[in-house]
Homo-oligomer: A and B are copies of this chain.
């Protein structure tokens, strides 16, 4: 039997679990050139909600009513009609919230199995790659710089905080609530934090970054991005990685007031970024994460939710800021 979560309708306002419907089908037969994969873990991240904005997001990530809910996943090959894959292989794919999936071989990414499986949906998967290439390739941090990270307690953010420390930056994390801030400072290694729910972002930015921000890794957009523009140093860089302030709403937001004038006056660069651009360099991220995991420079912060049935509520939880670290569902 193959359980499958169907996306039935675009949410009106905030996501609720009732727009998903669990369907039970037979396990699919892989067609010519296809591989049958038994999913083990899915990624659950704010980006999943972004796919529901079919008016904004085009191409393969655009989600339409009636489709299985898409997500990256890691699993094991059950049977294969492609000579490159054999039963038992560990594979990653853009997949869906379901037990089994038949995937064209060229859409699969075979892993060497050197790590426990959850790493391939965590640090060595979409979330970890996003942090790695976004910070280190798009952002190019230098030792001694002040790095500001929004949604710092999230999956991407908590990895960026750690990567920023490895790069020698002073890292300031923005998160919602005192518990997350304490966790970031005590467990993840942030040098300072800003609780955006405590208000007066501008004043908090002045206090925590008195000399300004060199590099801002932004996962949220919205009021945090607007306030951060005023806190940038001249010549500063902003990596735009996510827009979580916008995803869980059906009202398009206007952009931050400082665009374009603050960017002109301060000679700022803003770079939108998606991890897929760097697909031919994933091996570099794998090697470095493996070495940092081994010597303890990076800690995996995985929030594992048990059971395919919990996927919709896991996503609602992520959007509401319920979780810390990288959230994944174990099938």
Residue positions of A touching B, CB distance < 8 A: 50, 56-57, 218, 221, 225-226, 240-243, 246, 252-274, 277
Contacts and interface: CB of A to CB of B under 8 A. Distances in A.
Nearest to A50: B261
A115 B264 CA distance: 30
Contact of A273 (B240, B257, B267, B274): B267
A226 B266 CA distance: 21
A259 B255 CA distance: 5
A270 B273 contact: no
14 contacts: A50-B261, A218-B260, A221-B260, A226-B255, A240-B263, A243-B261, A254-B257, A255-B260, A262-B272, A266-B272, A267-B272, A267-B277, A268-B271, A269-B271
B225 A260 contact: yes
Contacts of A242: 264
Nearest to A264: B272
B259 A259 contact: yes
Nearest to A56: B261
Nearest to A53: B261
Contacts of A50: 261
Contacts of A253: 257
A246 B261 contact: yes
A54 to B, nearest CB: 13
A241 B226 CA distance: 20
A212 B46 CA distance: 29
Contacts of A273: 264, 267
A271 B253 CA distance: 22
3 closest Cβ pairs, A-B complex: A255-B255, A263-B272, A254-B254
Nearest to A240: B260
Given A255-B256, A265-B272, 6 more contacts: A57-B265, A243-B264, A253-B257, A255-B257, A263-B272, A267-B272
B269 A269 contact: yes
A258 B255 contact: yes
Contacts of A265: 56-57, 272, 274
A221 B258 CA distance: 11
Contact of A261 (B221, B259, B262): B221
A272 B274 contact: no
A264 B277 contact: no
A223 to B, nearest CB: 12
B266 A257 contact: no
Contact of A270 (B57, B218, B243, B263): B263
Contact of A274 (B225, B264, B271): B264
A218 B263 CA distance: 12
Contacts of A259: 221, 225, 240, 255-256, 259, 270
A215 to B, nearest CB: 15
Contacts of A277: 267
Contacts of A260: 218, 221, 225, 240, 243, 255, 270, 272
Contacts of A264: 240-243, 272-274
